[in-house]
Amino acid sequence: MPQAPGTLLGIGDDAALLAAPDGRMLASMDLLIEGRHFRRDWSTALDIGVKAAAQNLADIAAMGGLPTALLVGLAAPPDLPVAWAEDLAAGLAQECGRAGASVVGGDISAAPLVMLAVTALGHLAGEAPVTRSGARPGDVVALAGMLGHSAAGLALLQAGRTKPAALLAAHRRPQPDYAAGPEAARLGATAMIDVSDGLVQDLGHVADGSGVRIDLESGRLPQDDTLRAAADALGKRNPLDWILTGGEDHSLAATFPPGTPLPARWVIVGRVETGRGVRVDSRRSEGLSGWDHFLGPDTLH
């Protein structure tokens, strides 16, 4: 299996050996449980491997870091086909390759259903980490990537629909823009977060951590014809709900000092103000919530 440049010794020994170019290492971990985070009748093993890698590697990018490696723990029923596990490993390796990382180890065990524990590691290449706590009044809020596609794809799957296929693919295999994180750090981003649980909810973490209010402008949020087609097919009046509250697209949201020249991938969608919480078009957003890891996704009314 190909190894990332920061991997000095990969799979085959009791531990991997990784380079930490400036003596610091980023680490993040997620747990995925069958029936809770994925379904084997909706997604192939390759899909699940890609998604498991993407959601963890995106956390490294959201700190302004470069992904280096994944450690993967797999628990599965004894009758799980070997070919399924091999396809899972191929999906993990495929997404790691896209991010410039590699799988360097892990463990396996028996369980009544499939569970994945994935730890991502990365480094900052000498830069300061971009946290959730640095946003300041006057900053602009910008987004790199699309929102609502994964949530719309999930809604289509739940309704037994097969089109638009692009939205089903977005749910099964999110494609984070890993390069956007280090780029934002170089541009002087004051705060950043991976949008995994919904834009309003995740920017709420930035607002809380920074002690500010974030005001989003709905007219600036990216929408496209596929979202509108899905909304029409499902009898949903406004795809904006998916954009504001749908998670798992793993786009990056960041705040920048006013006047920062932003590359094309970054779209300004709001501003940072004095106050608390998140508003949409200057209106309070308490009724908008995203993914709850114990209750599941809320339905907007």
Query: Does 69 share its domain with 115?
Result: yes
Residue 293's pLDDT is 45
53 and 197 assigned to the same domain: no
> pLDDT digit string (tens) for 31-46?
999 999 999 999 999 9
Considering the domain boundaries, does residue 298 fall inside one? no
More confident residue, 11 or 68: 68
Strand segments, DSSP code E, in the chain are 7-9, 17-18, 26-33, 66-76, 102-110, 115-123, 140-144, 191-195, 213-216, 251-256, 266-273, 277-280, 283-284, 291-292, 296-297
Residues 110 and 156 occupy one common structural domain: no
Mean per-residue pLDDT of the chain: 92
Q: Report whether pLDDT(176) > 50.
A: yes
- Owning domain of residue 107: 7-123
What local confidence, expressed as pLDDT, does residue 285 receive?
A: 63
State whether 287 and 145 are in the same domain: yes
Whole-angstrom Cα distance, residue 115 to residue 287?
32
* Residue 134 in domain: no
Residue 245 lies in a domain: yes
Helix, strand, or coil (residue 269): strand
What are the backbone angles phi and psi of residue 177, rounded to the nearest 5°? -90, 85
Quick one: DSSP state of residue 26? Answer: E
**Average pLDDT for 284-289:** 60
**Shared domain check, 284 and 153:** yes
Q: What is the pLDDT of residues 234-275, one digit of tens each?
A: 998 789 999 999 989 999 999 999 999 999 999 999 999 999
53 and 21 share a domain? yes
DSSP 109-138: EE-SS-EEEEEEEEE-TTPPP--SS---TT
Length of the chain counted residue by residue: 301
> With bands split at pLDDT 50, 70 and 90, how would you rate the model's confidence at 8?
confident
Q: Is the pLDDT of residue 58 over 70?
A: yes
Is residue 198 located within the same domain as residue 240? yes
Residues 195 and 73 in one domain: no
| 58 and 175 part of one domain | no
Q: How many CB atoms lie within 10 A of CB 182?
A: 20
Q: How many alpha carbons lie under 13 Å from residue 152 in its C-beta half-sphere?
A: 33
Domain count for the chain, please give it.
Answer: 2
Residue 210 falls within a domain, yes or no?
yes
Share of the chain above pLDDT 70, in %: 94
Query: For 63-76, how does the pLDDT look when each residue is reduced to its tens digit (9 = 90+)?
Result: 999 999 999 999 99
Query: Is residue 1 in some structural domain?
Result: no
227 SS3 class? helix
